[in-house]
C-alpha cells in the first residue's frame, strides 16, 4: 500500500529543509513515527503531513509539546471518545489563542506601517536637504 510513497531521511530533509538531527529529534519526541526497518527510518505520507503542520506550528511560536497535542486532532481516528473530548477542548483553546494573536498582529502591523510612513517622510525631507542620490 505504502511502498513507493516511503522516503528516506535524506529525501525528507531535502523536501522540507530540515536536518536529519531534527527529524530524529521529532521522532524521539513522538511527533513523527517513521517505520523502522532495522535501523533505517522510512517516512510515510502521514509523517510528511505531520511535519508540514509541525513546521507551520513552529512559525506561530507553538512549542513542540503544544504541537504534539494539536497533531492528535488530525489523527482522531486513533483516539477514544474521552481523548476526543479533551483534544477538542484543547483545539478550542488554541483557536481562541490564535485568533487573539492574529488580532494583536493586525494592530502591530498597523502601528508599524504608521512608523514606516513616518520614516518615509523623514527620509524624503532629509533627501531634499542633503545631497541628491
Binding mask 55-94 for DNA (x = CB under 7 A): ---x----xxx-----------------------------
Q: Is the Cβ of residue 40 or residue 56 nearer to DNA in the bound state?
A: 40
The answer to whether the Cα torsion of 27, 29, 32, 36 is positive or negative is positive
Query: Out of 2, 30, 40, 52, which residue is the one contacting DNA (CB under 7 A)?
Result: 40
Cell of residue 88, nine digits: 477538542
Question: Exposed e or buried b for every residue in 58-79, given b needs 16+ CB within 10 A?
Answer: eeeebeeebbbbbbbeeeeeee
**For residues 18-77, which are near its own copies according to CB under 8 A?**
56, 59-61, 73-74, 76
Q: Which does 108 bind (CB under 5 to 8 A by kind): its own copies, DNA, none?
A: its own copies
Alpha carbons within 13 A on the beta-carbon side of 72: 20
The contact set with DNA (CB under 7 A) reads 8-10, 19-22, 24-25, 39-41, 58, 63-65
Amino acid at each position: 500500500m505504502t511502498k513507493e510513497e516511503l522516503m528516506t531521511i535524506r529525501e525528507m530533509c531535502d523536501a522540507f529543509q530540515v536536518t536529519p538531527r531534527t527529524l530524529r529529534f521529532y521522532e524521539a519526541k513522538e511527533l513523527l513515527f517513521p517505520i523502522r526497518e532495522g535501523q533505517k527510518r522510512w517516512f510515510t505520507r502521514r509523517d510528511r503531513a505531520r511535519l508540514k503542520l509541525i513546521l507551520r506550528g513552529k512559525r506561530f511560536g507553538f512549542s513542540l509539546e503544544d504541537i504534539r497535542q494539536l497533531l492528535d486532532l488530525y489523527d482522531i481516528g486513533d483516539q477514544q471518545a474521552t481523548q476526543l473530548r479533551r483534544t477538542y477542548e484543547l483545539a478550542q483553546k488554541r483557536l481562541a489563542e490564535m485568533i487573539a494573536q492574529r488580532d494583536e498582529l493586525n494592530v502591530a502591523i498597523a502601528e508599524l506601517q504608521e512608523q514606516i510612513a513616518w520614516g518615509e517622510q523623514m527620509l524624503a525631507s532629509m533627501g531634499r536637504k542633503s545631497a541628491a542620490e
